[in-house]
Amino acid sequence: MSHEYRKSPEAISRLSPEQYRVTQDAGTEPAFDNAYWDNKEPGIYVDIVSGEPLFASVNKYDSGTGWPTFTKPIEPRNVVRAGDSSFGMVGIEVRSARGDSHLGHVFDDGPPEAGGLRYCMNSAALRFIRRDDLEREGFGEYRRVFEHPDGERSDD
């Protein structure tokens, strides 16, 4: 299935004030006080603005930070990185490729056995789609992610 993922004025107008602050103004939501930091349901996370598939629950782990954290993106081409030295930290900002939404940051202190990266995201930048709703929501091709123990997408 082909999707056209993009940022549109209509999508921006539907954002809550917090979603706008995070995605458009590169804000950060409070730790442990956001929608997905402790979500354990199977599914995928997409950009709240463009709908681009970004992360899967099979690659989510509890980093103890209070934000949803992943070891890798479900679609690497949908995640772009840029340097960020705001707030006195030296990190790498993570943005969605087509929506240009600020998502969070990536650090090199993640689980070594899973590649060593920690993608620390803002729930306000994400929309969660439950595994059982993937077909209905137009993301049925991602059901296969849940059939592989490492979360790798298979194009077989």
Catalytic amino acids? Answer: 120
Q: How many Cα neighbours within 13 Å face the side chain of 98?
A: 20
Strands, E, within the chain: which ranges? 43-47, 53-56, 60-61, 69-70, 79-84, 91-96, 102-107, 118-121, 126-130
Answer yes or no: are the C-beta atoms of 121 and 72 closer than 8 Å. Answer: no
